[in-house]
Chains A and B, each alone.
Chain A
C-alpha cells in the first residue's frame, strides 16, 4: 500500500504464476505503489517555485537563439544548410544542458540527505540501497527530462528548414535522453560518496565540465571524420553525427559493430557501473559492497572483450587491434584502482549472512576481500588480453604486425599484473581505502610520465 498515493497494494502472484502475470503485477505495482523516494522528491520539487520560471526562461532563450540563427543564416544560405546548422547548434546546446545540469542536479540529492541529516532516518527505514538509488535517479531524471520535453518544440525547428529528417531529430532527442540518464547516474554515483552537497556539486561539475568537453570534441567533432570516411553520406566535422549515421549509413557488419555494439557497450557499461557504485556507497560499511561490483567487473570485462573481438574481426587492421588493447588497459587500470579500496575481508555481518543463506564457495569468492578481488582481476586480465591478442593474431597480417601486437599487448599486460599486485600490497598495509588509492594513482602517473 502506498500512503503517498493513497492506493492499496496488489498482492504478488503465486510462485507458480506465469511470466506474463508476473510482468503484469510488476507493472501495476509500478503504477499503484511507486518508489516512495521518487514520490517524495516529486512532491518537494512541485513546491519549488523557481522551477517553472527557470524552465520557461531556458525554453524562451533557446527558442530565440535558434530562431535568430535560422533567420540570420537563411539570408545567405540555402534552407537545407541552415537546417543542418540549426540542428547541430540546438543539439550541442541540449548536450551541454544535459551533461552539466544532469550531474549537478543529481549530485545534490544523496549528498543533500547527508548534509540535511535525513540520511540516517531514511537508511533505517529498511528501504534497500538499490531502491533509494532508483528513487533518487528517477527524481533527478524527471527534472532533466522535463527540460528536454520543454525544449522539444524548439528542437523540431531544424526539421522545418530541411537538411535533416524527422527521424534524425527524433534519434537525436533519444541520444539526449540516454545521455541525460548517464549524466544523472554519474552525478548520483559521485553524490553518494560525499557528505556535503556543496562539495558534491563542485567536484561533479569540475569532472563533468572536462569530461563533456572531451566527449564533445573527441567523440563528437574528431570522430565524425573517420565516420565520414567510412560512410560518406555522414558529413565530417559536425559533432552530432550519430543520429545521422544511424539513418544514412549503409547497413552491414561495420554498421553493427560501430553504430550498434560500441555505442550500446559505451552506454551500458558506465551506466551500470554508476548504479552499482551508488548502491555500494549507500550500503553500510559492514555490508557486502563488493559482490555487485565484482559481477559488474566480470561481465563488463567479458562484454568489452567481446565488443573488441567484433570490431577487430570487422576491421582486421593492426591500428584497431592496438586501440582495443589500449582501451582494455584503461579499463583494467580503473578496475585495479577500484580494487585498491576493497575491504581486507568480509565483515562478521557478511560472513554470518553467507552462512545463513548457504552461499556456495563460488558466490563467496565474489564477495569482499583483497585476495579474491585481486585474483578475479588477474584472471580477467589473462582471459581478455589472451582473447584480444588471439583475435588480433587471426586478423592482422603475419610477420611484423603480429610481432608488434604481441609485444605491445604483452608489455601492457605485464604492467597491469604488476599494478594489480602492487595495489593488493598497498591495501593490505593500509587502514582505509584512501592511502592505497593515492599511492596507486601516484605510481600510475609516475610510470605513465616516465617511460
Chain B
C-alpha cells in the first residue's frame, strides 16, 4: 500500500468533467503531475483552468471523474488533501490591518501547526523577515503575493497549487516570484501553476498541460511535447510531399525528403520566424538564404537585421548559421521570434472564443 502511494504521482486527474447547470466547462480531462515538477496549466480565459484547480483544492466536487493529490482522492478525503496542498487562489485577498507576522501567526494557528518556530522559518524562506512588523495594507502587490506564498508554506504541504500567481505583478515582482518558485521546487515541492502568460511559465515549468474549451489538448514535459509536435509536423509534411510528388511523377514514383541548406530533412509544416543579426549590410546576405529549402521569405532590415520565415526545427536554425558562417558572414545574433511554449500553444490551440 505504501509502495503504491510512493508510486502515485503528486497529482493524478482522470476523466474529470464538470458542469455548471447546462454548461459543460470540463470534458474528460486526464493528466499526471510527477513529484517535484513545476507543471504549467495553460489556457485562455474561460477554458476551465480555475474549475480544475478548484476541484483539486477540494472546493468543488466534480460532476464525474477522479482527482488524487499525493494518492488521496479529493472527493473522499478532502480534509487530508487540504493538509497536503497549499492553495493560492487567483487575486487572493489578505487581512489588511494586521502585520505580516500576525498574518502568518493566524494561519499557523488555523492550520494547527505544532512547531512554534514555523513562522520564523517561513519568514526566512520567503525573505519577508525584514518586513515582519509591517502592516499588510502597506505592502506592495508583489510583497503581498510573496506573503500568500508564505501562507501556503506554513503547514509544509507537498503540493502547491497557484492560480494565476503573477497576473497583477510588475516585472521585478514576477522575476522574484519565479526565483522563489524555483527555490521551492529545489526543496522538493510539486508546483501546479496556472497562467495564460506563457513567458511566465516557460521560465519555470518542467511540464505543461494546455486546456481549451474544457478539454485537455496536450500534456507532458515541454521538450517531449515539442518533439512530438515536430514529429507530427514532419510526418504531415512528408505525407503532403509524397502526395504532391506522386501527382507530378505519376503512379509508383516516390521522392525522398527535402533537405535544408545544411542537409537536414525538412522539419515541421508550421511556419516560424527567425531574427538574425549579421555584420555589415544585411541585404547582401539575402541571396545566400533566399530560395533555400525550407526558407519561405527573407526580409532585410537596417542595422544588419534579417527576418527569415521558415519551416523547420532547431536543426534548421543551426544549419542556417553554419551555412552563413561558411560563406564568410559574421553572425552576431540569432533569436527565434517565439519561445517554445508559445509555439506549442499556438500549434495545439485553435484560438476560438471560450
Binding site for B on A (CB under 8 A): 1-4, 8-9, 36-37, 39-40, 43-44, 47-48, 116-118, 120-127, 284-286, 347-349, 352, 431
Q: A47-B98, A121-B88, A348-B76 are in contact. List 7 more A-B contacts (CB 8 A).
A: A3-B109, A44-B98, A116-B93, A125-B111, A126-B83, A286-B75, A348-B75
Partner of B109, one of A8, A39, A116, A120: A39
- Cα distance A285–B135 when bound, in Å? 34
B91 touches A117 (CB 8 A): yes
A121 touches B114 (CB 8 A): no
B92 touches A117 (CB 8 A): yes
Partner of B59, one of A39, A116, A123: A123
> Which residues of B have CB within 8 Å of A118?
92-95
B198 within 8 A of A: no
Partner of B98, one of A43, A120, A124, A284: A43
> Which residues of A have CB within 8 Å of B107?
121, 125
- Cα distance A39–B102 when bound, in Å? 10
Cβ contacts A to B, 20 pairs, < 8 Å = A1-B116, A4-B106, A9-B114, A36-B109, A36-B110, A37-B110, A43-B102, A116-B93, A118-B94, A121-B87, A121-B89, A121-B148, A121-B151, A126-B83, A126-B111, A127-B110, A284-B58, A285-B60, A286-B61, A348-B61
Smallest CB separation, A24 vs chain B (Å): 21
Partner of A120, one of B76, B87, B113, B135: B87
B112 within 8 A of A: yes
A352 touches B76 (CB 8 A): yes
B109 touches A2 (CB 8 A): yes
Smallest CB separation, A191 vs chain B (Å): 16
> Which residues of A have CB within 8 Å of B110?
36-37, 122, 125-127
Number of A-B contacts (CB under 8 A): 101
Across the two chains, which residue of chain B brings its CB closest to A127?
A: B110
> Which residues of A have CB within 8 Å of B250?
none
Smallest CB separation, B291 vs chain A (Å): 58
A124 touches B59 (CB 8 A): yes
Smallest CB separation, A347 vs chain B (Å): 6
> Which residues of A have CB within 8 Å of B58?
124, 284
A124 touches B61 (CB 8 A): no
Across the two chains, which residue of chain A brings its CB closest to B85?
A: A124
> For residues 79 through 121 of chain B, which have their beta carbon under 8 Å from a beta carbon of chain A?
79, 82-83, 85, 87-89, 91-95, 97-98, 102, 104-114, 116, 118-119
B78 within 8 A of A: yes
Which applies to chain A's interface (DSSP): helix, strand, loop or mixed?
Answer: loop
- Cα distance A286–B119 when bound, in Å? 33
B57 touches A124 (CB 8 A): yes
- Cα distance A36–B111 when bound, in Å? 10
* Interface size counted on chain B using CB atoms at 8 A: 42
A47 touches B97 (CB 8 A): yes
B21 within 8 A of A: yes
Across the two chains, which residue of chain A brings its CB closest to B106?
A: A40
- Cα distance A24–B93 when bound, in Å? 38
A37, A116, A120: residue with the most chain B Cβ atoms closer than 10 Å: A120
- Cα distance A347–B60 when bound, in Å? 12
- Cα distance A21–B292 when bound, in Å? 89
Nearest 7 CB-CB pairings of A with B: A117-B93, A36-B109, A286-B61, A125-B110, A3-B105, A116-B93, A3-B108
- Cα distance A40–B107 when bound, in Å? 10
Smallest CB separation, A282 vs chain B (Å): 13
- Cα distance A286–B67 when bound, in Å? 15
Smallest CB separation, B90 vs chain A (Å): 9
> Which residues of B have CB within 8 Å of A120?
57, 59, 87, 89, 92
- Cα distance A359–B104 when bound, in Å? 38
Smallest CB separation, B244 vs chain A (Å): 55
- Cα distance A125–B111 when bound, in Å? 5
B89 touches A117 (CB 8 A): yes
B98 touches A126 (CB 8 A): no
B87 touches A352 (CB 8 A): no
Across the two chains, which residue of chain A brings its CB closest to B115?
A: A1
A3 touches B75 (CB 8 A): no
- Cα distance A286–B60 when bound, in Å? 7
- Cα distance A40–B59 when bound, in Å? 24
> Which residues of B have CB within 8 Å of A4?
102, 105-106, 109
- Cα distance A43–B104 when bound, in Å? 13
> Which residues of B have CB within 8 Å of A347?
61
- Cα distance A285–B94 when bound, in Å? 24
Assuming the contacts A8-B116, A118-B92, A122-B110, asked whether A285 and B61 have C-beta atoms less than 8 A apart, the reply is yes
Smallest CB separation, B101 vs chain A (Å): 9
- Cα distance A348–B91 when bound, in Å? 30
> Which residues of B have CB within 8 Å of A116?
93, 95
Partner of B61, one of A43, A47, A117, A349: A349
Across the two chains, which residue of chain B brings its CB closest to A286?
A: B61
Smallest CB separation, A135 vs chain B (Å): 10
A349 touches B78 (CB 8 A): yes
> Which residues of A have CB within 8 Å of B60?
285-286
Smallest CB separation, A2 vs chain B (Å): 6
- Cα distance A123–B85 when bound, in Å? 13
> Which residues of A have CB within 8 Å of B148?
121
> Which residues of B have CB within 8 Å of A9?
114
